Amino acid sequence: MSKSGIVNVRMVITEEKMLSNIDKVQKLINPKSKKQIVQLDDDVYFKDLIESIKTYLVEYPKKKNFPASVYKAAYELVEFATNQFEDNTKQIEELIRQRETNISLARELKEILEVVVSKETGWKQIVKEASNNFQEDIIETLEIIGKSRSDATENYQDAVKLINARIVNLESNLHIEIDMERIEDKSKALSYIGIEIADALKLIPTPQEEPAEMVMEEAKAEQPVTVVEENKGYIEETRFEVKPSLWQKIKQSKIGRALRYAFKIRVVLDIPALPEGRGEQN
């Protein structure tokens, strides 16, 4: 095999490897995928995949001949990552609004609790109006506190603890902070793709894919046509019928005729006459 042939084989193998790596990266950033990236800083596997793709894009020897399949896959990966980044940004904005709302609700619930504990005038109406912003279990707990005749009862103390715990949850927004951290880390991975791969793609001219028919025609035009002058007698002797059976092929071939000719030869054995026996002498 020529040296150029070896290079081509290696290029094809590497091209398939890059397509596989790009597919793996896309699965890691796909929100519907079971195996998603968790933390960019700790995900060495993800970084290695990105580095391999970037190296292939940057170090490819002839940019004008860059494989269209890899370019298209890398371009679609960047496009997909960009769309996911925009979706993540919208989710974070929504979570920020939710966090601000929760902080406001925590402040409101704290004020209502103070009114109910001190049993200020109109506390029942205040609790009733609070049902627009709080769930039924919170309203019922506030009513237990307001109707209790003593703050020493177990029901009263449990009710106060429950309301205070809800206030802390609303203020801390723990679940929202966890979701935001998870989404932000995904966004880091998405931006990492943009920084590493998108910049490398800028160095490569967009490959022009030719129609399949044109490629086939060019291949036919480039293929040398060899005309072999054969002896007409040989053609007639070796010509087979359309889709003949194996036995018909053998019979019509030169081998078959040679066998028939051989069997037509008469085999004559010239056996020398035996010498006549001498008569016995009496």
pLDDT value, residue 104: 96
Question: What is the predicted pLDDT for the residue at 12?
Answer: 62
Identify whether residues 69 and 152 lie together within a single domain. Answer: no
Domain end, chosen from 157, 190, 207, is at 207
Q: Identify whether residues 46 and 112 lie together within a single domain.
A: no
User: Do 157 and 52 lie in a common domain?
Assistant: no
Query: pLDDT tens string for the chain (282 positions)?
Result: 444 444 454 566 688 999 999 999 988 888 887 776 656 777 888 999 999 999 999 988 888 889 999 999 999 999 999 999 999 999 999 999 999 999 999 999 999 999 999 999 899 999 999 999 999 999 999 999 999 988 889 999 999 999 999 999 999 998 999 999 889 888 888 999 988 999 899 889 988 765 544 445 544 555 554 444 444 554 444 443 434 433 343 344 443 444 344 334 343 444 444 444 444 444
Same domain, 36 and 164: no
Query: Residue 125: its pLDDT value, please?
Result: 94
In a domain, 8, yes or no: yes
> CA–CA distance from 239 to each of 232, 235, 270 (Å)?
10, 6, 41
Those residues whose C-beta lies under 8 Å from the C-beta of residue 119, and which sit 6 or more positions away, are: 146
| Domain assignment of residue 135, given as a range | 97-175
Phi and psi based region of residue 243 (left: phi greater than 0; alpha: psi -120 to 50; beta: remaining): left
Structural domain total, the chain: 2
> What confidence score (pLDDT) does residue 145 get?
93
Q: Is residue 133 part of a domain?
A: yes
Q: Pick from 161, 188, 207: which residue ends a domain?
A: 207
Task: Give the domain-ending residue among 134, 155, 175.
Answer: 175
Task: Output DSSP code: residue 207.
Answer: P
Residues 6 or more apart whose Cβ sits within 8 Å of residue 269: none
Residue 151: closest CA among 110, 127, 119: 119
Query: Which residues, including other chains, have CB under 8 Å from residue 28's CB and lie 6 or more apart?
Result: 35, 36, 37, 46, 49, 189
Give the pLDDT confidence score for residue 158 in this predicted structure.
94
The pLDDT assigned to 17 comes to 92
Same domain, 52 and 82: yes
Q: Cβ neighbours of residue 87 under 8 Å, at least 6 residues apart?
A: 31
Residue 122 phi, psi (nearest 5): 85, 15
Same domain, 60 and 188: yes
Q: 191: closest CA among 46, 17, 64?
A: 46
Task: Choose among 176, 119, 173, 110: nearest CA to 138.
Answer: 110
Please tell me whether residues 88 and 137 are part of one structural domain.
no
Instruction: Let me know whether 48 and 182 are in one domain.
Output: yes
Whole-number pLDDT of residue 61: 83
Q: At 274, phi and psi to the nearest 5?
A: -75, 145
Global pTM value: 0.61
Going by C-alpha positions, the residue among 39, 21, 16, 23 that lies closest to residue 192 is: 39
242 in any annotated domain: no
Q: Is residue 244 part of a domain?
A: no
Question: Are 134 and 109 contacting, i.e. CB atoms less than 8 angstroms apart?
Answer: yes
User: Does 77 lie in the same domain as 103?
Assistant: no
280 inside domain = no
Query: According to the model, what pLDDT value does residue 272 have?
Result: 44
Does residue 263 fall inside a structural domain?
Answer: no
- Which structure tokens are listed for 48? 């290695």
Does 248 map to a domain? no
Q: Which runs of consecutive H residues, i.e. helices, occur in the chain?
A: 3-29, 44-59, 68-117, 123-130, 136-147, 154-172, 174-193, 199-201, 212-222, 232-238, 246-252, 254-264
One domain for residues 192 and 71: yes
- Residue whose entry in the numeric block shows the structure tokens 């079971």: 34
Residue pair 29/84 in contact (Cβ under 8 Å)? The answer is yes
Q: What is the pLDDT of residue 244?
A: 41
Yes or no: say if 53 and 21 are a contact pair by the CB < 8 Å rule: yes
Shared domain for 185 and 112, answered yes or no, is no
